Structure 1
Amino acid sequence: MEHAGFLPPDERKRLAAVPIDVQDPDLVVRAPHLTRWVLRHRRPESRALAEIRTTIDPALQKTVANLVEAHVQTFRQETLTNAAAVVLDNRSGAIQAYVGSADFWDKRHGGRNDGVRMLRQPGSALKPFTYAHALASRRYTPASVLADIELNVPEASGAFTPENYDETYHGPTPLRQALASSFNVPAVRLAREFGAAALLETLHRFGFDSLDRAPSYYGVGLTLGNGEVQPIELARAYAGLARGGPLEFSFPVAVKTGTSKDYRDSWTVGYTPRHTVAVWAGNFDGAPMDRMSGIAGAAPLFHSIMRTLGSGGDFERPPGLTPARVCPASGKRPGAHCPAPHREFFLSGTVPTDTCTVHRVVAIDQRTGRRAAPGTASRHVQQKRYAVYPERYHAWMREHDLPLPPTAPRTASPTPTAAAGSLQVTDRLRIRDPADGALFYVDPVLRDRYQRLSLKGMAPDAFRDVHWVVDGTRHASGAGRAMWQLRPGTHRIELRAWHEGQAVRSPAVQIRVVAATSPPNRSTVSEK
């Protein structure tokens, strides 16, 4: 300025002697993460432009940024250090708010990392697309009953047994409820049926380009969110769902939460007819949070943003749907004894035509608790309603004390109860527990009901009359789980069934039970 004649020499010397106090810059960029991304990825023809227009709503951007910062401050003690959020307009797909972290200038917690475009596991937030695939196949409807019972999944990386978040199996579950409750087991069953390749193709159609590995890399765990995606991809995919509702609002909102393994990522994604919002909460360094799930970590922030946006109106029913009454226990037309039928919606051509056979009324002799004989006097007969699910659910029913009707007098079954040597052995029937050669002790102190052995096995759905046989005697139906009272001696345990007209059995397991004269050493004896 002195050389240009704008500053006298004395004034220049005075100003040069003033110490410089360097401070962090004020946040003058309203959407720093988006601005940086736009500048890095703008098209060559736009690089000479002095102005680049975006679709950001300045007021909404400021509000969402403040909500993200306040949310993280609230949950800092819960080992949550960051969050990100993006808001889309469903009609145009335009991004209206884009917040990549709680504080762009926070170096300690990686504030310049862009959480909207990072790759993280979405957990259950991917489940709706598995169900969308199932519904689009027309093999399933919202009323279809899915099996939420124990499932062993053989994968190339090793077998695993999926469990639900509440660590409980819920038995026969309508598809609508399985999705709304975010049960893991039914989602994995669907993924197994359709295959990882078909599910991955559907996710690609919804815009999840980050899932760029082979289907075998993800396996059926893809439905549980084992692949890494971007929050912006989730938002756009849910916006696609919106164009065609744990969390309570005063207006219609459809919401899904998700939690990745070890509580490293907390997600909530949802939409009204007008807006889609995706929220991530976690730590940029990948450190796990203190058991903070999607409903605890990301949902409060999602709730605040949605309340700021306000109602988007009512959801309109998509065209091509037909309402019909069904029994939720079977997903079929209500029978004469169904207690609580309700209305469901179906794609045209998928309305059930079969009638429910789950609910039955059985005549019981009140004196014996058994089925009434044809000649039983009417004053001794009680008509009792039962819910009789298919045989693969019977072990689950026993575990949850759900009664089955008394059986009719059993007739001889020629082959399955015959000598073991006359049956064909198949590895498709498997005994998971107990192990062959296992040793058990009968404790002289414990009561009998605490000294029962849990029998666990596996059988394909196509096998019929699956049952346990102990020492040549039929013991219990169903492969899932049965209890057997320990008694001293050497015992042979098998699973038997019918398959394609052939009586088959599993490889036998032999165990030994010893009567202890004193309480056995708890540190060396396995008790079941």
Structure 2
Amino acid sequence: MLLAGSCFGVVLLSVWLLLRFTPFPELQQFLQRPFSTLLVDRYGEPLRYLHPADGTRRIRTELQDLPAWVPAAVIAAEDRRFMLHYGIDGAAVLRAASQNIRGGGRVSGASTISMQLARLAAPHRGGLRGKAAEAWNAMRLEARYSKHELLQMYLNALPFGSGVEGIESASRRFFGVSAAGLSPEEAVLLAVIPRRPASLNPHSFPERAVRTALPSAAAAGVNADEQMLLAAIQAGQARAAGYHEPFEAPHLADRISRELTPAQRAAGGSLRTTLDLELQHRLEDLLYARLRAAGDSRIHNGAALVLDHHRGEVLAYVGSHDYFDDQNSGMIDAVRIRRQPGSTLKPFLYALALEAGFTAATILPDTPQAFGAEEAYIPQNFSRRFAGPVRLRTALSSSLNIPAVHTVVRLGVGAFADHLEDLGFSSVADQRDRVGAGIALGNVEVSLLELATAFSVFAGDGNLPEYRVLLPTDHTSGPALNQPAYPAHGISHPHYDAATVQIIRDILADQADRVLGFGADSVLNTSFPSIAKTGTANQFSNIWALAADPDYTVGVWMGNIHGETVIGRPGSSLPATVAMQLLQDIHETGRRFPPADAVHQVRISPISGMRYDPPGGGSIPELFPHGEYPPEDTWHSYPGGPIRYPPEYQDWVRDMGFRSAGGAADGRAATRVRIQSPNDGARFYRDPYISERHQSIGVVVTSDGQEPIQLYWNDSLAAEGHSPLRWQLPVIPGRHRITAVAGSVQDQIRLQVGASEP
């Protein structure tokens, strides 16, 4: 007897070990199926459900979050001895067999909750072999999980038809409430639907659903009669008709959905985004209002973005004016599509210039010039006027075009393209071989996301944040908006010297200096500390505004997704109004930009940009990095007298009818010759869409004497003439050396055309 008992125990243990530990790959795949994920804003307000790719509504719920009558109703409807058996209910099997024999066919079944769950995890074709496998798998489930765990799995897997799975999704679908809010009557009605989802739908067949649910109600301890259940159906149907899933920030939700990992999808639950739903609605309202105002200009779309550049978080994200506007491609995320940005790239150009040794007082030419080829590219300012010699500060604050092109030619198109890539403009990488000097005016296509992210560097200390859209949860640390990885909070990369940021920020905030380009009553003017930059491109079919205060950065684009021509000249004041009004709404009183502690003021001439402080006035303050001073002024012959403009401005002086002290002195030997453009070390790329014979690099040389200038290209004489001497260098790949000689003085630069040689 003892031996027999021992053998029986060994057999039971062996069976249990087989049930517990044999591989069950179908179960693992079942447990890893995707659930609906709820996106919420930073304060918990729902934004949108991200359902599985097949469209199934499968919202996870936890058993402990449900009222007791919900699981009781399911157990009563499907498996009343669920808590007593180990996967197979012998009594139910005998009962079903007896009923089926007496009825001459299938009258009832004996499937337990565990067996039904096993069939959902590992579907079969039926028959004796299928039922045997189902029973075996049910026992395997019982050996591996507690009753509580099995019941929770079952509640989340119940099929209710029409792409609805799980008790939570069904509660919303049929009664317009969360499962936690179900009444006892609603619970027993829901519990019977999975038996025959099509014919027990309480909305379509209320009487049939009630008749089926009544026996379960009594077993679940729910005291309800037919009229009470019918009333529950009627009230629930009214709520369900008014229930709509949240659908906020759809473009960002789409983006997050595409980037979720399988583990995150399987976890379901909710993900907390960085968005502020109230701010999201405010930004949408402002954008829509300006688009309506621009209706006569045939501008149909827009996008906008708000960033918190201290915390590295996206607070609002509007991808288009209307997600469901098919006529104007509303589903396309205009925050991320590439468009020519116009003048919005100029702050980055001049920041690079400052890092390369320019100053805010560096004089740049705003005079008629041709760049890149013989009469091939002749930029003009928006105002169609020329201001002559202008300081870098004025060129940026008034968004003058010609000084910008002059600057990029001096620095090198390749150097600026490299700089943009370093700032996060990844879209530039595959365009750099076909851009020229026009890159200074935004003829390279970038996204609003790239622009706003990079612009935020000027509102801080020179570090470029990585912006994220998800806040940390149990499942993720939050993906960065502009990176594929999932970085930790607060990551940023040093990008500019503090002095560079402080000077650019001061220029972009200078309301007085932007008068030349925007007038005295500009929409960019605010009563609080702010910086701003606007841009237009493609005959006004792309209009932009970037703005920031000490805490937030706003980017706005308006135009047409597919570039349809607009009517008239809709200016950048349209998006600028959105950006500045939004900043006005969220600016915190008393907040200031970081102190300008890396620069000092020097009195300069507003004309020459040189150090100048005569007793009678006429000078202005300018910012320079600590320890740096401009040279003493040489343009003023005497206070109040005519200006001695350099040779390169003599044509402009004559055209303007100004009185000038002249350029070089008659007969004086040159003491200085300078290659004004391009800069030493500049790099250029050929444009594959323009014939080579129509491409060239403009070279400008000046001297302070009357002697002729000889210009040598790789030791061969290329041109000769008086100051200012202009020549076009053929765009031939490789390294080039340019030498200018005037009498006994000379200047030399080196430049590269095409990629650097290994």
Q: TM-score, normalised by structure 1?
A: 0.69
**1:504-523 mapped onto 2 (5 Å cutoff):** none
**1:248-259 mapped onto 2 (5 Å cutoff):** 248-259=525-536
Query: How far apart are 1:384 and its partner, in Å?
Result: 6.4
Query: How far apart are 1:196 and its partner, in Å?
Result: 1.2
Instruction: Report the Cα distance in structure 2 between the residues aligned to 1:233 and 1:75, rounded to whole angstroms.
Output: 25
Query: How far apart are 1:6 and its partner, in Å?
Result: 6.6
**Does 173-182 or 389-398 show the bigger shift?**
389-398
Q: What residue number does 1:330 align with? A: 608
Secondary structure of 1:61's counterpart equals helix
Query: How far apart are 1:462 and its partner, in Å?
Result: 3.2
Secondary structure of 1:150's counterpart equals coil
Do 1:93 and 1:239's aligned partners in 2 also have CA atoms closer than 8 Å? no
Secondary structure of 1:129's counterpart equals helix
Q: What residue number does 2:423 align with? A: 206
C-alpha distance 344-409 of structure 1, shift in aligned 2 (>3 A): closer
Q: What residue number does 2:266 align with? A: 48
Instruction: Report the Cα distance in structure 2 between the residues aligned to 1:40 and 1:280, rounded to whole angstroms.
Output: 24
Query: How far apart are 1:391 and its partner, in Å?
Result: 1.4
Among residues 373, 389, 408, which one is paired with 2:645 in the alignment? 389
Do 1:152 and 1:162's aligned partners in 2 also have CA atoms closer than 8 Å? yes
Do 1:394 and 1:477's aligned partners in 2 also have CA atoms closer than 8 Å? no
> CA offsets per residue over residues 129-169 of structure 1, 9 Å max, x none?
000001112x21111111111221125x9831111111111
Among residues 288, 296, 316, which one is paired with 1:97 in the alignment? 316
C-alpha distance 465-181 of structure 1, shift in aligned 2 (>3 A): same
> CA offsets per residue over residues 50-82 of structure 1, 9 Å max, x none?
222210001101111122222211211111111
The question of 1:276 aligning with 2:570 is answered no
The question of 1:181 aligning with 2:398 is answered yes
Q: What residue number does 1:197 align with? A: 414
Do 1:86 and 1:279's aligned partners in 2 also have CA atoms closer than 8 Å? yes
> CA offsets per residue over residues 376-415 of structure 1, 9 Å max, x none?
xxxxxxx9611121011111111112112489996699xx
Question: Is the helix fraction higher in 1 or 2?
Answer: 2
C-alpha distance 3-46 of structure 1, shift in aligned 2 (>3 A): closer
Which structure 2 residue ranges, 5 or more long, are not aligned?
1-192, 210-232, 234-240, 462-508, 510-521, 670-697, 709-721, 727-739, 745-758
Q: What residue number does 2:592 align with? A: 314
Q: What residue number does 1:501 align with? A: 743
Query: How far apart are 1:303 and its partner, in Å?
Result: 2.3
Secondary structure of 1:298's counterpart equals helix
Q: What residue number does 2:255 align with? A: 37
Which structure 1 residue ranges, 5 or more long, are not aligned?
16-22, 362-382, 414-457, 469-475, 481-497, 503-528
Secondary structure of 2:618's counterpart equals coil
The question of 1:462 aligning with 2:702 is answered yes
Q: What residue number does 2:383 align with? A: 166
Secondary structure of 2:279's counterpart equals helix
Question: Is the strand fraction higher in 1 or 2?
Answer: 1
Instruction: Report the Cα distance in structure 1 between the residues aligned to 2:651 and 2:661, rounded to whole angstroms.
Output: 14
**1:47-446 mapped onto 2 (5 Å cutoff):** 47-50=265-268, 51-137=270-356, 139-154=357-372, 159-213=376-430, 215-244=432-461, 245=509, 246=522, 247-311=524-588, 313-334=591-612, 336=614, 339-352=617-630, 354-361=631-638, 385-405=641-661
Do 2:701 and 2:725's aligned partners in 1 also have CA atoms closer than 8 Å? no
Secondary structure of 1:319's counterpart equals coil
Query: How far apart are 1:358 and its partner, in Å?
Result: 1.1
Secondary structure of 1:167's counterpart equals coil
Instruction: Report the Cα distance in structure 2 between the residues aligned to 1:215 and 1:250, rounded to whole angstroms.
Output: 40
C-alpha distance 351-48 of structure 1, shift in aligned 2 (>3 A): farther
Aligned residue pair count: 403
C-alpha distance 239-45 of structure 1, shift in aligned 2 (>3 A): farther
Letter of the 1:31 counterpart: A
Secondary structure of 1:308's counterpart equals helix
Instruction: Report the Cα distance in structure 1 between the residues aligned to 2:313 and 2:253, rounded to whole angstroms.
Output: 15
**Does 191-200 or 240-249 show the bigger shift?**
240-249
Do 2:636 and 2:642's aligned partners in 1 also have CA atoms closer than 8 Å? yes
Letter of the 1:255 counterpart: A
Secondary structure of 1:52's counterpart equals strand
**Does 338-347 or 32-41 show the bigger shift?**
338-347
Query: How far apart are 1:499 and its partner, in Å?
Result: 4.8
Q: TM-score, normalised by structure 2?
A: 0.49
Do 1:129 and 1:203's aligned partners in 2 also have CA atoms closer than 8 Å? yes
Name which one, 1 or 2, has greater alpha-carbon Rg. Answer: 2
Query: How far apart are 1:38 and its partner, in Å?
Result: 0.6
Do 1:200 and 1:215's aligned partners in 2 also have CA atoms closer than 8 Å? yes
Do 2:646 and 2:663's aligned partners in 1 also have CA atoms closer than 8 Å? no
Tell me the percent identity: 31
Instruction: Report the Cα distance in structure 2 between the residues aligned to 1:130 and 1:56, rounded to whole angstroms.
Output: 31
> CA offsets per residue over residues 440-477 of structure 1, 9 Å max, x none?
xxxxxxxxxxxxxxxxxx98323566799xxxxxxx99
> CA offsets per residue over residues 5-46 of structure 1, 9 Å max, x none?
575967579x9xxxxxxx999683121111111101223442
Do 2:345 and 2:441's aligned partners in 1 also have CA atoms closer than 8 Å? yes
Instruction: Report the Cα distance in structure 1 between the residues aligned to 2:245 and 2:540, rounded to whole angstroms.
Output: 31
Letter of the 1:298 counterpart: P
Q: What residue number does 1:444 align with? A: none
C-alpha distance 59-217 of structure 1, shift in aligned 2 (>3 A): same
Secondary structure of 1:385's counterpart equals coil
Q: What residue number does 1:512 align with? A: none
> CA offsets per residue over residues 341-374 of structure 1, 9 Å max, x none?
111111134322x21111113xxxxxxxxxxxxx
Secondary structure of 2:700's counterpart equals coil
Instruction: Report the Cα distance in structure 2 between the residues aligned to 1:114 and 1:403, rounded to whole angstroms.
Output: 55
**1:445-484 mapped onto 2 (5 Å cutoff):** 460-462=700-702
Secondary structure of 2:600's counterpart equals strand
Secondary structure of 2:291's counterpart equals helix
Instruction: Report the Cα distance in structure 1 between the residues aligned to 2:370 and 2:424, rounded to whole angstroms.
Output: 31
